[in-house]
Structure 1
Amino acid sequence: MQKSDFYSHGKLLITGEYLVLDQAKALALPTKFGQHLNVKETDSQFSTWESYLSDGSLWYKFEFTINQICQTSYQPKNDFEERLSQIFKFIRSENSELFINEYNFKTHLEFPQNWGLGSSSTLINNLAKWSKINPYKLLENTFGGSGYDIAAAQSKTALFYTRNDFDPQVKTIQFPEFLKDHIYFIYLNQKQNSRDAIEHYRSISQAQKDKSLNEISQISEEVINVENLEHFEELMKQHEGILEKLLGQQKVQDKLFPDYKHGIVKSLGAWGGDFVLVTAKNKGQLSYFKNKAYHTILSYREMIL
């Protein structure tokens, strides 16, 4: 019986949030934390699914038949089973030969689910590897989104990402080494629903977006050529200003950290939750955030591959 192991990296989007959906050039970073998928053929009449959290505890387990879960008559018990049914239906449409057998599936997350590092995208990429189908097509027909998280799942270094249907432009790049000592990622203690945020973005007129697309793409390219921390911070301020005007939302630094004077605070991905990027001259300056009860703080080198 065949047994296969797959792994995908989590992600953080440094530039291009929202506008990456409309082909802005975005800068993304793969994280050291990801998700494992183990698939094993079984002689049983049933398939099993087991999902384990980063602390090793079993989050979800259920039994099903691989063809039954793909039927239109299938009645999922909850959102998770409904999502798996949707994924397997598309996989079967692309590679039906897989569904001759039953399987035992096991997933293991390396990061807390609420961190927003890509529990969905790492799952999609792993299942696409297993089924040998295009991960961008699988994403589009299930969760949706720009696909930058799929590119990050497959990458071992920083990358530029430009959406292009199911064949995006992905270019690996070198993130400025000196910046890595001054960048930190702080969890805002709340999970943001990126699908809701994307729906809001889609309601904005194309005319409003067009100017911002070029500006954000230019900022993305400038970031990797900065020669000092101050230039990087200025670019991040410009980026936040463009998105603030476009989204009609207050910048996270103005909203939550207006008196932080040691650097900048920038939203990452969907505005309003998950992680923010923070700059500081030294780690001691981060006591500001700890005093505000933000205790999940990871340095660039701790978080990024």
Structure 2
Amino acid sequence: MKTDYLAHGKLLLSGEYAVLDGALALAVPTGPGQRLSIRDGERGALQWIGREMDGSVWLEVRFTRDEILKPLAPKDFPSDPRERLLYLLQAAGALQPGFLNRLAGCRVETHLEFPREWGLGTSSTLVANIAAWSGADPYDLLAKTFGGSGYDIACAAADGPIFYRQMPGGRLVEPAAFHPPFAGQLKFIYLNQKQDSREGIRRYREQGKPPSSELEEVSRLAAAMASAGDLEDFRRAVDRHEELVSGWLGLRPVGERLFPDFDGSVKSLGAWGGDFILAAGGSSPETYFRARGYETCLGYAQLVRT
């Protein structure tokens, strides 16, 4: 037996939080993703090894056949890595009868192509790969486990930038003609801390749904960012987006909070408070951010799958 799967990571350029309430979002898949490989293994058991980008093992577990075949019990999604993985596999089995019977005797290895702490989709790429292996619908599997809008699942299989929108009974996923002539002036900076997306969603929900007019404006901003012909138009859309989300969450934008003297625009990507930000424009952004302790400063072409 020899089977391999690959899912791409994700970055949400616009529509954070608002995508949960039907706003149009602009997202890009990353070049780095996560691979899942299945080989013959120990008879009667499932061996699972999760590897970091450098090949070191971050998770090594073994499940007996009885554990695997236990019916999925309704409960909160576990936080323990072993229990979470088992729950994910059992959820796939609930969606695709017969899948669990194929697991005993397999040795599975996952291999991340980006540092796990970067928040580029360790979970979403795993969901996408397990869905591909099992034959389950990846969006249904996400809904049964981690939850969320599903844009990250769309990115996992995307070849380039996409527009994403949740719709009653489904979703819209279509290619976005986002090929900015100013791509060289876009940088992705890691904030040296991972943000919990589930916690970010909880905070957003506590504030109440934004006005429909503002959700519609977010949709227009996604289109404006994708079609911007120059950096200044792009920056205007970015700045307005930050202003809107700041008002919903009651939080100061990251540019105002951490980088008030930066001479470009700064935008949070995904849940506010961690992971990556986008810097647009500015003079010598690499020098600026690294001087402030943010060593990971990547160009658009370095990170985005195009």
Q: TM-score, normalised by structure 2?
A: 0.93
* Closer/same/farther in 2, CA of residues 239 and 66 from structure 1, 3 Å limit: farther
**Percent of pairs identical after alignment?**
39
User: What is the CA distance between 1:286 and its match in structure 2?
Assistant: 2.6
The question of 1:223 aligning with 2:222 is answered no
CA contact (8 A) 1:136 1:166 kept: no
1:179 aligns with 2:178: no
Residue number in structure 1 paired with 2:49:
50
Give matches, 1:236-255, under 5 Å: 236-255=238-257
State the 1:226 CA deviation: 1.3
Amino acid at match of 1:99: L
1:13 aligns with 2:12: yes
Residue number in structure 1 paired with 2:82: 81
Please list, as runs of the form range in 1=range in 2, the aligned pairs for 1:24-103 lying within 5 A after superposition. Answer: 24-42=23-41, 44-71=43-70, 79-101=80-102, 102=104, 103=106
State the SS of the aligned residue for 1:162: strand
Unaligned runs of 5+ in 2: none
Equivalent-residue separation in structure 1 for 2:72 and 2:236 (angstroms): 55
Shift of 1:280: 2.3
Single out whichever of 185-194 and 166-175 deviates more from structure 2.
166-175
Letter in 1 for 2:244: I
How far is 1:39 from its partner? 1.6
Amino acid at match of 1:134: D
Higher mean C-alpha displacement, 90-99 vs 15-24:
90-99
Matching of residue 295 in structure 1 with residue 298 in structure 2: no
Task: Please say if residues 29 and 152 of structure 1, whose CA atoms lie closer than 8 Å, have aligned partners that are also in contact.
Answer: yes
Q: RMSD in angstroms over aligned alpha carbons?
A: 1.9
1:56-102 deviations in Å (ceiling 9; x for gaps): 1111111112441352699xx97111111211221111222222231
Asked if 1 retains the 8 angstrom alpha-carbon contact of 2:41 and 2:47, the reply is: no
CA contact (8 A) 1:54 1:110 kept: yes
Specify the SS of the correspondent of 1:30. strand
One-letter code aligned to 1:301: A
Q: 1:4 and 2:3 equivalent?
A: yes
Shift of 1:47: 0.9
- State the shift of 1:281 in Å: 5.3
- Which residue in 1 is equivalent to 2:165? 162
Aligned residues: 300
Q: Which residue identity is paired with 2:290?
A: K
